Structure 1
Amino acid sequence: METSTLSTQHWRKFALIAVIFVAWVVAYADRIVISTAVIPIAHEFGLNDQERGYVLGAFYFTYAFMQLGGGWLADRYGAKRVLTACIVMWSIFTALTGMSWSFASLVIIRLLFGIGEGGFAPANAVAIAENFQKQERGRVQSLMSSTVFLGNAAGSIFVAAVIAAYGWRWTFPALGVCGVAVAAAFVFMLKPRAHVRSPRPAAQSRSHYLELLRNPMTWRVGLIWFCSSTLFLGLQSWMPSYLLKVRGIDIQHIGIASMIPYIAAFFATNTVGHVIDKAGAHRSKPLMACGALLCALFLILMMTTSSLPLLVLYWTLCICAFTMVYATVFTVPLKYFPNDKVGSATGLINFGGQMAGFIAPVIMGHLIGAFNGSYVGAFSYLVLSAAIACVIACTLKTPNTNQDPAHVALANS
């Protein structure tokens, strides 16, 4: 009987991992589509580099603020309700993107898309906290985190093929249908929380967030994530345009070139997750510091090479180095914060990273315009951001893993 129960729990965990994994792949595919689609969109709508920057960054503005609200909702209502609602909402606005008719309509739809997807990351953390032990969470979270690269790889190939065959407007409704199908799977496969937590009084809710903000780990990891995300999301947004304008690669081959770094990074992220679980908390600081430093170095090499194969190699190594930061950042709330603060802590930390997703493409667009179409200034801005992330990581105090997990998050307050 006991063996049967353990087997059922094992398969339930496997099914949970599978459905969340697929949802993340769809989420990132929906997100990256604009990076390639903006090329024909800009041509059709007559957008300049600055306007393209706002189109690329609009999603991340509302997405960042929803990290805070999404974390609170997931902590209170549980993962199933928030995850399902997020998928349905973002799928609707993904589909509507294909119906935009102007620069303004496109930006507004992208802002609404960000609201829909914004609660998904903290709700995902709550789902992991509700269903997995702390010693398992690093690997599970890294697997989910790695979907950014698998989704980006799938999205790059899918987008290039659909745009080449049918035009950019059909790409978004096709992805929206995929999202609705995943939402239906969530309804049947995720169990709702047995009870809804009582809402905190307003003063207590403020105290809840202030307590997290007073913890140096929260804001230092948040700053590391902001600076590292500046590099990654800046590259993600502008690399297709760079490959087309500077390197002369057509859209279909852009999809193939983009797939290589993301597939390599998928495996690298899962490797880092295993290292975190096996090696312990004291590896968090060197992983983030070395990852940020290597990102900067490989991006410099990418900027200075004239060889296309070497550019793809350095780009791949840069993104793989980024996974050292990425996988580590998102295990921090799961490892060192009590379960009732996991969603809020994840939301606070991820807020900074997603604001970088809004700020970086906009600043890069202005820098590209200021440098008369050259990407040197824009890429130098990304190198500086990665270097700052490395410096902040070197100042991070590693928690004592022998301490009671409920109090580890407050150790350095």
Structure 2
Amino acid sequence: MPVEAAIPVKNGADGYSKTLALPSQDRLWSHQRKKLMMFIYFLGSVIIYACRTAMSLCMPEMYDEFGWDKKQQGLVMACFLWGYPVTQILGGYLADRFGAERVIITVGILWASITFATPDFPHLGSGTKESALALIIFSRLSQGLLQGMHFPSVMSATGQHVSDKDRTFVYSVISSGTHGGIVFSGLFGSLILHLQGWPSVFRFAGLIGLGWVYLLYINGDIKNNPSITVETKGSTSDHSKKDFSWHKVLSAPAFWAMLAGHFANGYTYFVFLFWMPTFFHEKYPTAQPWVYNVLPWVISMCTSVMFGSLGSWLLMKGFAKTLVRKGMNVFGMLLFGVCLICVSYVSSYEGSLLLFCVICAGQGAYQSSIIMNPSDILPEHTGFAFGLMNMFGAIPGFIGTYVSGAILEATGNWDYMYAVTGWVSIVGWAIFAYWGSAEPII
């Protein structure tokens, strides 16, 4: 429903020059500014994931230094996800209410600084293995709390300033940066790890994180278009707030199908992400880390953009949005699960690498499927809805990562661990395929 707001009007190279009161659905970035902000937020996705995955990249080296067992390794990697779900809803609400850019810059300064300081945390305590473990857990938990606000805020920004027909492609490009961050971490992080040791990986990631925050500030709306008010940045009128009905939302099967699908994807994705370097390091010790840490995610980054373009094209051709979302999810979750189950039937390095590449290729389609569903079913409350969904996706992530470590510690069996994870993905796909929808609830 229309909401009156002060909005930027294009007039000149910067895309903005004055402010008019127009309905919120017309409050869109100009074509030029949309490309600029899409690129900046893409870089943000790259860097935030480079910081996030630095721990899994460095875990083999840190294991040697601190003597952590598999359960403790799983605990260190999982504790990021203890904090990550807690601030999802808060981040989306604050972005919708006060402006996405303000939230992203504030928390960005903090998570980048903590990343930079990570090598110092183990040495702040008594120097024992237990003290180092506790302090690293604290740093990871803090990062999770802060980074949990980032993507709901980005989704809020695209929901406010990008048209419905372009939103799938724009957010797919932005989210493809998450895979680019894993590539960046695997390529440059592996090189820094080899040449300088694990502390330098965190120093480098933290510095580029702070650099990105500055880049967003000098190019963003806060500095270049101060006429955008708090209301313009996403708060809704009192009338639109009254239209939000928890009864309608909670009684809609599509809402629960979205949560269930993302819950399953969160479990499978984070297990896959955090344990893949250790899997190859232990099962194929002669393999080159820069290959298995980079190649699958290069493919995923490319397919994210490819499926995003395909999804936008299908919508412009008149295909039903629900059909497009469910069709993309065949690749995003069903293929993911089947390939993980097949890991137990492959004994060669080349075969395992191929399976993991196929998984990452399919995962690119997920960015055009359930990830976009909050803006489909709750278009007036995109940031809040995405935060709620992402909270449900992060909770099983830390459970799955820790449980997978416990399975490995008890059995030493990678095949069993990946088979369990694969079936979780298949069940999540089936639920969304049957009950999911892209029709607005309210």
TM superposition score normalised by structure 1: 0.89
The partner residue of 2:314 within 276, 279, 289 is 279
The partner residue of 1:307 within 325, 343, 348 is 348
Are residues 296 and 173 of structure 1, via their aligned partners in 2, closer, same or farther at CA, if it must alter by over 3 Å? same
Q: How well do the aligned residues superpose, as a CA RMSD in angstroms?
A: 2.3
Letter in 1 for 2:398: F
Q: Could you give the per-residue CA deviations for residues 321-341 of structure 1, whole angstroms, max 9, x where no partner exists? A: 2222333122112234233x0
Q: How many residues align?
A: 395
Contact 1:49 1:368 in 2 (8 A): yes
Are residues 211 and 80 of structure 1, via their aligned partners in 2, closer, same or farther at CA, if it must alter by over 3 Å? farther
**What residue is the counterpart of 1:327 in the other structure?**
368
Identity %: 21
CA distance in 2, matches of 1:175, 1:190: 22
Counting only pairs closer than 5 Å after superposition, residues 13-52 of structure 1 correspond to structure 2 as 13-52=34-73
* Stretch deviating more after TM superposition (83-92 or 226-235): 226-235
Letter in 2 for 1:134: D
Contact 1:290 1:390 in 2 (8 A): no
- Return the offset for 1:184: 0.9
**What residue is the counterpart of 2:77 in the other structure?**
56
**What residue is the counterpart of 1:194 in the other structure?**
229
- Return the offset for 1:124: 0.2
CA distance in 2, matches of 1:211, 1:70: 23
Secondary structure of the structure 2 residue equivalent to 1:331: helix
CA distance in 2, matches of 1:49, 1:200: 51
- Return the offset for 1:198: 7.0
The partner residue of 2:296 within 261, 270, 273 is 261
Contact 2:121 2:135 in 1 (8 A): yes
**What residue is the counterpart of 1:347 in the other structure?**
387
Letter in 2 for 1:273: G
- Return the offset for 1:222: 1.7
Letter in 1 for 2:378: F
Counting only pairs closer than 5 Å after superposition, residues 354-393 of structure 1 correspond to structure 2 as 354-371=394-411, 373-393=412-432
- Return the offset for 1:399: 3.8
* Stretch deviating more after TM superposition (277-286 or 116-125): 277-286
- Return the offset for 1:7: 8.5
- Return the offset for 1:210: 6.4
Contact 1:218 1:348 in 2 (8 A): no
Letter in 2 for 1:171: V
**What residue is the counterpart of 1:230 in the other structure?**
267
Are residues 289 and 396 of structure 1, via their aligned partners in 2, closer, same or farther at CA, if it must alter by over 3 Å? farther
Contact 1:79 1:123 in 2 (8 A): yes
Contact 2:333 2:366 in 1 (8 A): yes
- Return the offset for 1:393: 1.9
**What residue is the counterpart of 2:189 in the other structure?**
159
CA distance in 1, matches of 2:211, 2:54: 19
Contact 1:285 1:396 in 2 (8 A): no
**What residue is the counterpart of 1:404 in the other structure?**
none
Contact 2:344 2:416 in 1 (8 A): no
- Return the offset for 1:3: 9.5
Is 1:70 matched up with 2:80? no
Are residues 391 and 63 of structure 1, via their aligned partners in 2, closer, same or farther at CA, if it must alter by over 3 Å? same
Contact 1:294 1:321 in 2 (8 A): yes
The partner residue of 1:318 within 331, 337, 359 is 359
Letter in 1 for 2:158: I
The partner residue of 1:295 within 336, 340, 347 is 336
Contact 2:308 2:367 in 1 (8 A): no
Contact 1:137 1:335 in 2 (8 A): no
CA distance in 2, matches of 1:346, 1:211: 17
CA distance in 1, matches of 2:420, 2:181: 26
Unaligned runs of 5+ in 1: 401-407
Is 1:106 matched up with 2:136? yes
CA distance in 1, matches of 2:51, 2:331: 30
Contact 1:98 1:171 in 2 (8 A): no
TM superposition score normalised by structure 2: 0.84
Higher helix content, 1 or 2: 1
CA distance in 1, matches of 2:149, 2:41: 14
**What residue is the counterpart of 1:409 in the other structure?**
441
The partner residue of 2:112 within 66, 78, 91 is 91
Letter in 2 for 1:37: C
* Stretch deviating more after TM superposition (7-16 or 224-233): 7-16
Letter in 1 for 2:350: P
CA distance in 2, matches of 1:232, 1:195: 35
